[in-house]
Structure 1
């Protein structure tokens, strides 16, 4: 029974991500149908929309923490570290981009800030290191520059979501490096090299 309950919960969350991606106003009943469960089963796990969104938010938070935990050490150059960060975070951001928009409305900005905190801290630390090394712009404090780059990433994610742009994360990584102060040519070369490295790591793993 416990295994069946866990399976139902996972199916409901997967269906919720998919259905919310298609229609932000989808009802819980429609999500239950998409998950292949009855309404009572969904409400047994999630008594309301807020509870369902909170569970999705916690999934997003865990995924972000997982990406940050796998971040390389300080021996990697700041430019490569930033490229790695954006490329690693992109699949998580792409999966939860709509959730973050919904969370602002349904869960509040405090909860969203809590979800994004690990990623924000890691990005700020990379930018601080790059500013200290003279490879990133230093006309803005690292935390402010980090917030600006986060807004850029979320905006590009929304463009992908709206179907007005296509990206697998590489173009966003290049744009992020350029915005941080790296030349276009160098940024492109760094991102291409890092993307290749991450693909090799994924195939080995």
Structure 2
């Protein structure tokens, strides 16, 4: 009878358990996005029911509501960052790539604005800056590319222009949250403001909602 190497069995079992745990964690985060997006005050039990797991399982992955919201924020960040990297490496106009970058982030914010704001508000000090860092790096590369090929004005530094673009995006989000602007109007204003800030060629306005 062949001997079974227990260390290899143990390794396979560990990998399977790790995979199951990761799958369970992803299911909980996806459920949180759906439930909290519709009902910001939903409980951890509500999230567990949506995910098809026990409340104890949710707490095993996320010991607090704040920890779950942090995971939701990471989920959204990863989604936008994946799309942003495509614009970062895209050939062609730096202007079009930068506006596409802004559109991608805005579209996600518009769909999940309440949940994104709640998750960001629950983030620990400095966490938002950490999450912004890779986006700032991509924006800076796009701005430098536009300055080097003559699409953007080079009178101001790329670092300053990136800071201004981030501030404009936050301002657009605040206008929508305060009810002073609709999402379509806000993103159109954001795009036009970005083009003017960068000294790029104006574009045809997008339809407003």
Structure 1 position 99, deviation (Å): 5.4
Cα contact 1:131–1:137 (8 A) shared by 2: yes
Tell me, which stretches of 5 or more residues in structure 1 are unaligned?
Answer: 193-205
Q: Which has the larger radius of gyration?
A: 2
Corresponding residue number in structure 2 for 1:114: 130
* Aligned length in residues: 189
- Secondary structure class of the residue paired with 1:108: coil
Structure 1 position 157, deviation (Å): 3.2
Cα contact 1:9–1:45 (8 A) shared by 2: yes
The 1:176–1:92 alpha-carbon spacing in structure 2 relative to 1, beyond 3 Å, is same
- Secondary structure class of the residue paired with 1:176: helix
Structure 1 position 5, deviation (Å): 5.5
- The answer as to 2:197 corresponding to 1:179 is yes
Tell me, which stretches of 5 or more residues in structure 2 are unaligned?
Answer: 1-15
- The answer as to 2:164 corresponding to 1:148 is yes
Structure 1 position 60, deviation (Å): 2.8
Corresponding residue number in structure 2 for 1:69: 85
Measure the CA separation in 2 of the matches of 1:126 and 1:148. Answer: 14
Q: TM-score, normalised by structure 2?
A: 0.68
Mean Cα deviation higher: 75-84 or 87-96: 87-96
Deviation string, structure 1 residues 152-185 (Cα, Å, up to 9, x no partner): 22332344455541329962434422332235xx
Structure 1 position 120, deviation (Å): 0.9
Cα contact 1:19–1:26 (8 A) shared by 2: yes
Corresponding residue number in structure 1 for 2:55: 39
Measure the CA separation in 1 of the matches of 2:121 and 2:55. Answer: 24
Cα contact 1:64–1:118 (8 A) shared by 2: no
Cα contact 2:95–2:151 (8 A) shared by 1: yes
The 1:123–1:154 alpha-carbon spacing in structure 2 relative to 1, beyond 3 Å, is same
Measure the CA separation in 1 of the matches of 2:57 and 2:90. Answer: 47
Q: Larger relative CO (CA 8 A, sep 6+): 1 or 2? A: 1
The 1:44–1:69 alpha-carbon spacing in structure 2 relative to 1, beyond 3 Å, is same
Corresponding residue number in structure 2 for 1:166: 183
